Amino acid sequence: MEQVDVSRLLDQAREGDKCALDSLVSAIYGDLRRIAASLMRGQLHGRTLQPTALVNEAWLRMASGQNRWENKAHFFGTAARAMRQVLTEEARRRCSQKRAGDVKRVTFRDLDIQSEEPAVDLLELNQALNALAKVDERYVRIIDLRYFAGCSLEEVAELTGRSLASVKRDWTYARAWLFDRMTDASKT
């Protein structure tokens, strides 16, 4: 199978080439679906949203914008944020329907955080990420790329143009910050 140059397709799509946008969708759809399935694997039973629907909804949100993704990192970061928003809205909808009676959870396992609870409330995670963005947005970009987009540390370094050591340091800080924030939130 031919290797597709996502960066080139993004450049062409940014210039208004509809064929490039279609090719981009075809090239990355499988990756986005794999990421969505991984994100949703940790959810408890009873969820109504499926990975394909998550990717489709996230893509609709992305495509309804101006398609001004600067580069591959910006594109995948935007995709990760769109998936996070869709999952958060789905969790809010379920929560409001059940009056918080049987809140569904997603795993926090991929963040390598040891906690007493193996799963985390997606609404709580979203609130924590919004608070972390006020500290420094780069930490949230790393979480988005690692957790929501499924990128390795090496891929995050490549996508963000930062050294692997800097990304590892920021990843460690962001995980610790989220762990502290979310364990404090669960005590109240």
Predicted confidence band at 103 (pLDDT cuts at 50, 70, 90)? very low
pLDDT score for 105: 52
Average pLDDT value for residue range 160-179 = 94
Residue 106 phi/psi, 5-degree rounding, is -115, 150
Angle at 49 between CA 159 and CA 132, to 5 degrees: 45
CA atoms of 80 and 149, how far apart (whole Å) = 5
Q: How many CA atoms are closer than 13 Å to the CA of 111, on its beta-carbon side? A: 30
Kindly state the DSSP code that residue 99 receives in the 8-state scheme: T
Which residue, chain included where needed, has tokens 């919004």? 130
* Both tokens assigned to 153: 């540390």
Tens of pLDDT, residue by residue over 60-95, are: 888 776 667 777 888 888 888 888 888 888 877 776
Angle at 72 between CA 70 and CA 73, to 5 degrees: 85
pLDDT score for 116: 43
Average pLDDT value for residue range 20-24 = 83
**Is pLDDT of 115 > 50?**
no
